[in-house]
Structure 1
Amino acid sequence: MLRTTVAACLASLLIAPASAALQPSDAPPAAKGWRAVPIADGVNHPWGMAWLPDGRLLVTSKSGTLHLLSGKKFSAVPMEGLPSVFASGQGGLLDIAVHPADKRNVRVYMTLSTGTANANRTTLVQGIFDGKKLHSIKTLFQVQPDKSGTEHFGSRLLFMPDNTLLMSIGDGGNPPRQIGGMLARDQAQNLGSHQGSILRLTDTGKPAAANPLAARPGALPEIFSYGHRNIQGMVRDAAGRIWATEHGPRGGDELNLVQGGQNYGWPLQSFGADYRTAEPIGKPEVPGMTAPKIAWVPSPGASGLAYYTGSHFPQWRGSLFSGGLASMDVRRIALDKGGNVLTQERLAIGQRVRDVRQGPDGHLYLITDEANGRLMRIVPE
């Protein structure tokens, strides 16, 4: 029965790539009729957030701590067994997800960077939250091969309806950074490497059954899709489609419709340019590779991603909301029923937005990337 469910889930994601030429998108016009209400602050550079079954909110800090929001205050959550966090550059304690099947003694999943400046990797851990502390933390999965430097760890988590887990992994870094004798960014086209891919795992960290590339010679069995640079947002919509936002270099941030087994082209297909030379990287469109639904030029620094189903803004239902680090905004992306982008507009926040989520109360929430990170709720004006 599980195999049938998994196969049906994967079949719904194996969508043929669009063939229409894509034009890059600049900053959209301002959205109206909303305001951001501060809820709480006090987390040092927050990165990810997830709600517990009882309605309380867990937030990770990139520095390596976990925080719980009760009412309007954050408190530190003791953690027992967490591996040493490599908190440097873009590395640290990153995303967090709660197992959807749990009501008590909730299994909490987190991604973090571990290792040293010369040998590090993105790591997936699982612990048990008993209401006061996170204990029995164990390592479920580690990305291979190791890399050096402090760039492009990813990493967002997303549970699927069959309780498998999607985990995004960055490509390993910008030139001249190398992995295995090649530029790190070229690892995104190497199916023998986890770098630059989305993985699909069981809730125990093993390769999920029926992964679309598992039978390909030389491919690692965990890989679900590849050719990604550095995914920073990932969400599932009401129709079961998976959406992801990722960073491009010097322009070319992307919104992608994630399709099992597809190659998203990086670094052969891109709207971005090299940081050192300003020369274009790859081509905007490459036959056989899946094109993004949006390419933002200049880059907003796309971050967390939410899909809105709430009642507070009926006109926004069915839209994606993408945070922006460099643009200091949240972008609303209106979709039609077929998953095509209709329009965009921006909610100017004025601070770096690290994550955007819809809470259990139907409100949109965002958290800012600051030394005193702030949680805000979006409400009608």
Structure 2
Amino acid sequence: MKINCQVKKLLGASLLVVLAGCSVAENSTSAQSTANSSPNSPLISDNEVAVAEGFSTRTVLQGLERPWGMAWLPDGSILITERPGKLRIVRNGKLDLEPIPGVPEVFAVNQGGLMDISLHPDFEQNRLVYFTYSQGTNQANHTRVARATFDGTSLQNWSDIFEVTPTKSDGQHFGSRIVWLPDSTMLVAFGDGGNPPIRFNGEYIRNQAQNLGSHLGSVVRINDDGSIPQDNPFVNDSNADPAIWSYGHRNIQGMTIEPTTNRVWSHEHGSRGGDELNLMEVGQNYGWPKVSYSDEYTGGRVAEISSRPDVPEPKVVWTPSIAPSGLAFYSSDRFSGWQGDLFVGGLVSRDVRRIDLDGEGNVLGEESIPIGQRVRDVRQSPDGGLYVLTDEQNGSLISIEPE
């Protein structure tokens, strides 16, 4: 594969090549650099990236069934969701044998089930825990946002506070991740409903990502009780759903916020190549499926164009796909040189990608932290550690540690 790109940074002994605005030709394995790319072009990653140095991995525990999300309690325990519909707790590094009661039945089919988990910013006072999960039947299902109180042993007062409309068929593309903004409103990401041939109202359901009247393929902003903030970008648009914060997304399974700048990052799956890392902007259309770097699974391009002036360019495009899931912004100094960077889990690449950022949010390069299993989530712990959940029938909690 012949690659024309721009060299931006050296990290230790590893050369990080920024493939910004790269042109790629098949059947070559060499990489050459030029200085003719646009600074606004995405890094085009072909997955031939250097392996990071200065870390080791440790398996904390095994025995999780398709784990999806995790959240730390103030006492250091970890709540972990399992996609079949169970909530588990890890105390002092050991997994409790019995799941925490109080989770209702979920639609655990294909990609659906119990997904993300997040604590309310004032958890120590109100004990509120938030979840995303899929509910319904194979003919009519959707993602819901719910909250419950956790008393240390069980969930109480489970209530659904938001649900995606319209409902869809099949078991694909539910999303979803939760991020809290500084004003204690929450962003929640939802998938576009699925791949062709799944249809809605006579067309491919993925086109709903361009419909401001639909939650499919969008990020919504809601209050902690599910109500709609009155300063949302489309709240005064009679043709739009007032909850929508951004749209034109395919299937976001990673979202995080920088604690100092409050910049919001997300990544989303492409179809066949074209996975994206995006720096999020309120009210923006991210293009899917009208603007995309993806190919159809059946061949040919998804969209006629990969960029458009009114669509923010991705910061990174992965082709072939790494199938990103889980995203963490690292703010600790426990790892020398990693502070201020992003960490992306890869289901297909079976690793964690370190995305080297400068202070302005520009991507300088990419490294791989091999895990050897499908990575579903990656998070920073309160003490500055990096933890990974693996998407396996016998899933693991893995700690990434400095050597």
Shorter-normalised TM range: over 0.9
Tell me which residue corresponds to 2:111.
Answer: 90
Within 2, Cα distance between the matches of 1:340 and 1:148? 39
Give the distance between the partners of 1:25 and 1:52, measured in 2 at CA.
36
Q: How much does 1:132 deviate? A: 0.7
Partner of 2:120: 99
Aligned counterpart, 2:386: 364
TM-score, normalised on structure 1? 0.93
What is the TM-score when the length of structure 2 is the normalising length? 0.88
Once the two structures are superposed, residues 94-148 of structure 1 have per-residue CA deviations (whole angstroms, 9 ceiling, x without a partner) of 0000001121551000000000000000011100000111111011111000000
Aligned AA for 2:236? A
RMSD of aligned C-alpha atoms?
Answer: 1.4
Match of 1:275 in 2: 297
- Alpha-carbon distance between aligned partners in 2 of 1:201 and 1:282, rounded to the nearest angstrom: 34
- Determine which of 292, 295, 305 is the counterpart of 2:327: 305
SS in 2 for 1:114: strand
Distance 1:172 1:40, change over 3 A: same
Deviation at 1:198, TM superposition (A): 0.3
How far apart in 2 are the matches of 1:210 and 1:133?
A: 35
Q: Secondary structure at the match of 1:367?
A: strand
Name 2:85's counterpart in structure 1: 64
Asked if the contact 1:267–1:282 (Cα under 8 Å) also holds between the matched residues in 2, the reply is: no
CA contact (8 A) 1:274 1:281 kept: no
1:288 to 292, 298, 310: 310
Matched residue, 2:348? 326
Runs ≥4 in structure 1, deviation > 4 angstroms?
Answer: none
Structure 2 CA distance for aligned equivalents of residues 107 and 22 of structure 1: 38
Match of 2:232 in 1: 211
Alignment equivalent of 1:24, drawn from 44, 50, 56: 44
**Cα offset, 1:279, TM superposition:** 3.3
Contact 2:89–2:100 (Cα < 8 Å) also in 1? no
Q: Which moved more, 1:271-280 or 1:174-183?
A: 271-280
- What SS does structure 1 have at the residue aligned with 2:81? strand
SS in 1 for 2:44: coil
Q: Which deviations, in whole Å up to 9, do the C-alpha atoms of 1:254-290 show, x marking residues without a partner?
A: 0001100000000011111111234343421122111
1:1-381 correspondence runs (5 A) = 20-22=40-42, 24-27=44-47, 28-75=49-96, 76-80=98-102, 82-104=103-125, 106-237=127-258, 238-381=260-403
Report SS of the residue matched to 1:186: helix
Task: Work out which of the two has the higher radius of gyration on C-alpha atoms and give 1 or 2.
Answer: 2
| Residues 21/343 of structure 1: CA separation in 2 closer, same or farther (3 Å cut) | closer
Partner of 2:13: none
Tell me if structure 2 keeps the 8 A contact 1:211–1:223: yes
| TM superposition shift of 1:180 | 2.6
State the Cα distance separating 1:41 from its structure 2 match. Answer: 1.6
One-letter amino acid matched to 1:26: D
Q: How big is the shift at 1:24?
A: 2.0
Where does structure 1 lack aligned partners over 5 or more consecutive residues? 1-17
SS at match of 1:139: strand
Structure 2 Cα separation of the partners of residues 96 and 79 of structure 1? 15
Q: Are the aligned partners of 1:188 and 1:227 in contact in 2 as well (CA < 8 Å)? A: yes
* Corresponding pairs, count: 363
Mapped to 2, the partners of 1:246 and 1:339 lie a distance apart of 18
Question: Identity across aligned pairs (percent)?
Answer: 48
Aligned mates of 2:331, 2:385 — CA distance in 1: 9
Contact 1:83/1:114 (8 A) holds in 2: no
Task: Tell me the residue number matched to 1:3.
Answer: none
Tell me, yes or no, if the aligned pair for 2:289 and 2:302 is still in contact at 8 Å.
no
Q: Please list every run of 5 or more consecutive structure 2 residues that lacks an aligned counterpart in the other structure.
A: 1-37
